[in-house]
Amino acid sequence: MDSIFRHAVLDTLPNTIIVSFHGGNSDTSFLFYQGDSIYTKFPSHITNAYPDGIGEGFCYDTIYGIVDSLYKDFPETPVNIEISDKTWNPTTGIVDLSIDFRNDGPELVGPFWFNVIVTEDNITHMHQTQNGCSKANPPGPPYYDILYKNSWATRKMVFWSEGKSLIETLWPNQQTINQSVSFKLDTAWVPQNCNLVVNVYKKADSIYKSRVMQAIQLPVIGWTDISENIATDDEIILIYPNPVDKFANIHISLTNRGLCNLSIFDLNGNRVRTLLNESKSPGFYNIEMQANTLPKGTYVVVMKTNTVTTSEKIVIQ
């Protein structure tokens, strides 16, 4: 789905903001997040879902047509969103935002609500596939055996699925409403791969009918933050949680484009699982490992690139 949206939408409509809400019928760590009830709020196979989502099961041309029609039907919006201040503390994981919402058009009739959504890119995860997916699920174990790269995965809806009220009645021309927002990034996420999506919508009787008026996207790291978004070493940065009983997030950084192999070995030196074995661009990656399919014990995570081999222990309990 990542490549479909990139080619069907972003190549020709680069200002599009995509937020992915992971569906049900699966067992993955990013199925559950603050606000995950959003998945139950809109039906699939519709052209107007929150926030202007498109449901599931659409082909390339349909996806492009839906998004293109939104640009044609609503070429301009009177609502403006500006981030007047943003800080991220890498020690505590706290993000503080100061957001200005301004009506640059005629008086608007409310109610208008907003939300802040945290998404993460570059998540490598083994999925179960369903009928009609791009790849068939091979018969027999392991059940999760198709390796996918996931982008725009929702990690947190700061104000849950419903959002927060911005203004309930009339919104006069040129009136600016300031909102201060503070929230924490989970240790399992790679901050360098996380983005913030701020959107404003006119609230309707059902959230999937609530028309989005404006949205912006910005990286977590940048501006006044004290961390550089550039990988300086080929290394395993973090395994979290460790010990682990279900899912582990393995954070790695790569400095050069080339083949990267990330594998799990037992203490006798036997490779028990390959998590990654492909060419990667420089950057930060979050490799999600399903640990509960391996026997309990101590293992070694080994990352090998063209320049280095590095390893860290992981305990499955």
- Are the CB atoms for 212 and 199 separated by under 8 Å? yes
- Are the CB atoms for 235 and 255 separated by under 8 Å? no
Q: Could you give the residue range(s) of every CATH 2.60.40.10 domain in the chain?
A: 2-219
pLDDT for residue 147: 63
CA distance 198 to 178: 13
The architecture (CATH level 2) of 235-316 comes to Sandwich (2.60)
* pLDDT above 80 for 136: no
Q: pLDDT (tens digit, 9 = 90+) per residue, 89-103?
A: 888 889 999 999 999
pLDDT for residue 175: 97
Which residues, 6+ apart, have CB-to-CB distance to 135 below 8 Å? Answer: 129, 146
The pairs formed by 38-45 with CB atoms below 8 angstroms and a separation of 24 or more are 38/154, 38/157, 38/161, 38/207, 41/161, 41/206, 41/207, 41/208, 42/206, 42/207, 42/208, 43/208
Among the listed residues 152, 128, 129, 134, the one whose alpha carbon sits nearest the alpha carbon of residue 59: 134
Summarize the confidence of residues 162-182 as an average pLDDT.
96
Summarize the confidence of residues 37-64 as an average pLDDT.
59
Q: How far is CA 302 from the centre of its chain?
A: 26
Residue-averaged pLDDT of the chain = 82
Q: pLDDT (tens digit, 9 = 90+) per residue, 175-218?
A: 999 999 999 999 989 888 899 999 999 999 888 788 899 999 98
Which CATH number is 2-219 given? Answer: 2.60.40.10
- Cα torsion 268, 29, 3, 61 to 10°: value is 150
CA of 82: how far to CAs of 97, 177, 197, in Å? 10, 11, 12
The residue with greater pLDDT, 171 or 223, is: 171
HEC per residue, 168-185: CCEECCCCEEEEEEEEEC
pLDDT for residue 49: 40
Q: Could you give the residue range(s) of every CATH 2.60.40.1930 domain in the chain?
A: 235-316
